[in-house]
Amino acid sequence: MKKHTIIPYLTGLLLSAIVLSGGCKKHSAEDPGATPGNGIITLTTMSPIFEAEGGDVFITFHSTAAWTAEVDQTWGSVSPSQGDAGEATVTLHTDKNSSGSERNATLILRSGTTTERMIFYQKQENALTVTKNRFEVKQAGDNITVEVIANISFEYEIAEDAVNWLIPIESRAMETTQLHFQVKPNDSARSRIGTIKIQSRDLTETVTVYQDGEEPQIILTEENPIVESNGGTLTVELRSNIPYDIQLPDQPDWLREITTRTLSTYTHRFEADPNESYDSRSTRIVFTNTESGISQTVTVTQMQRNAILVSKEQYMLDAAAGTLEFKVNTNVDFKITTSEEWIRESQGTRALEERSLKFTVDANSNENPREATIRLTADDMEQTIKVYQAGRDGTGILRITHTNGAFAIPTFTGSSMFLYGTVSWGDGAQEEYREGLSHTYRSGSSHTVTIEMMGATMFTLPDLIGITELDLTQF
């Protein structure tokens, strides 16, 4: 792929784009089925190109019968909107384009049974810009001129798959930032697309050249777009020399077309909801011309919600040395770090395929309990696992027998910075300790609550009602 460097010698030079192949399709007298009673429209003006600021352009044409005029996008308008047979001039108006993208619309002229369409363009606001991003060339080929608005040097390159048929024409006009290209005849029945990329530092403009083939075609610029998991707007660009309908045959509840008239004729936008699941999902957008049987499909894939999930975020270990092993559910690769040296990942046991992690835990030779943190990180995601290890002989067991229908456990205090334990309610239920924890029983018989606490030195009972026995021998 050959790059070309251009250094403009005029600052802020504003030029108009020229498409030597013309910008409109003629019906009129060449159509053997047309008669004066049907109405014939002959355009005498090239397709206009508006600057980002907007403005007015005069369009002239001849009609053999009464005519009407309209624009298919709300940012453009035409006046007058109707007239009698004969020579006519209308004013085509565009509002300011404050977006960062070029847009296009269609002027539609109707006379009797004849409809004539003219596509016109409006540039976006940009520091490096070309006066037109889209060129449509007939099958026989032609020359095109790309006008670049820039006061800094820039480079351009032709896409590798188009270098054999989209040829730069070297001329002195290039010094005025006019880039001339020859489009060779298209011997294929299918249409084709080529791009010219113009770059200057971190600014980029892409010019797309569409060339017709012998057959009617609907051409997609991208067939497999990807949408991020957080959703947003998907833009689908295409080129067609026939009318088409848009369908979403899968009827997805997470993707819908934005059906406002503020979009461009060949630019379609769709809104995607966030994907809250942990699997990617896909659907189809189909562009179809029923009469010719031509259909093109865009397959849209939305990325899954990335996550690192563990079944338990806290582990309590005794003072002896050992291992800690747990499963991780994740759809991303991740990094493991530990906050303390006494707990570390066991070498050779990590297997992302199994999502099974194993850690070596050293013995705690001190009387005081200790804690460590394991962090699993991937991009902007983080999962934290707390590991508590008892001190030597540092786990206390408190047993309370009672006859109450509901029971609230004592409040514990200790000299360490954390308290951790488990509560067995005496009816088969068990859960981790937390302050203010209570439990309701289904039967009114006597129950013994067993509380294993790490780091606790004192406890306070809310009351003694219904308590028949208090065992402190292991606390």
CATH number at residue 268: 2.60.40.10
Check if the beta carbon of residue 134 is closer than 8 Å to that of residue 208.
Answer: yes
* pLDDT value of residue 172: 41
Claim to verify: residue 186 and residue 287 sit in the same structural domain: no
* pLDDT value of residue 352: 37
Q: Could you tell me which of 359, 362, 360, 358 has the C-alpha nearest to residue 319? A: 362
For 72-133, where are the E strands, in sequence order? Answer: 76-79, 82-83, 86-94, 103-111, 114-122, 129-130
Domain boundary among 178, 211, 244: 211
Question: Rounded distance, CA 284 to CA 291, Å?
Answer: 21
Residue 174 dihedral angles phi and psi, to the nearest 5°: -65, -25
Claim to verify: residue 75 and residue 168 sit in the same structural domain: yes
Claim to verify: residue 152 and residue 270 sit in the same structural domain: no
Claim to verify: residue 184 and residue 236 sit in the same structural domain: no
Question: Rounded distance, CA 260 to CA 68, Å?
Answer: 23
Kindly report whether the peptide bond that precedes residue 80 is cis, defined as omega within 30 degrees of 0.
Answer: yes
* pLDDT value of residue 416: 57
Q: Collapse the DSSP code of 38 into the 3-class scheme (helix H, G, I; strand E, B; otherwise coil) and give the result.
A: helix
- Domain extent, residue 285, equals 218-302
Claim to verify: residue 400 and residue 377 sit in the same structural domain: no
Domain boundary among 354, 389, 424: 389
The tens-digit pLDDT sequence of the chain (475 residues) is 556 555 543 333 333 333 323 333 333 333 434 444 578 888 877 888 888 889 999 999 999 999 999 998 999 999 999 999 999 999 999 999 877 677 889 999 999 888 888 889 887 765 577 777 778 777 778 888 888 876 567 788 888 888 888 888 764 433 447 788 888 888 776 777 888 888 876 778 888 887 777 677 787 878 888 888 888 889 888 877 778 889 999 999 999 988 765 445 678 889 999 988 877 889 999 999 888 788 889 999 888 877 777 767 788 777 778 888 887 877 777 888 888 888 888 765 444 344 678 888 888 877 777 888 888 888 777 888 888 777 766 678 899 999 988 999 898 887 554 667 889 999 888 888 888 888 989 877 899 999 988 777 788 888 888 899 988 888 7
Claim to verify: residue 12 and residue 154 sit in the same structural domain: yes
Claim to verify: residue 409 and residue 355 sit in the same structural domain: no
Claim to verify: residue 255 and residue 378 sit in the same structural domain: no
Q: Is 435 exposed, middle or buried (0-12, 13-18, 19+ CB in 10 A)?
A: exposed
Claim to verify: residue 385 and residue 455 sit in the same structural domain: no
Q: Residues for the chain: how many in total?
A: 475
Claim to verify: residue 207 and residue 230 sit in the same structural domain: no
Q: Could you tell me which of 201, 218, 206 has the C-alpha nearest to residue 159? A: 206
Claim to verify: residue 333 and residue 350 sit in the same structural domain: yes
Domain boundary among 302, 337, 368: 302
CA 215 to chain centre: 34
Claim to verify: residue 421 and residue 379 sit in the same structural domain: no
Residue partners of 354: CB distance under 8 A and separation at least 6: none
Residue 108 token pair? 């539609």
For the chain, what is the domain count? 4
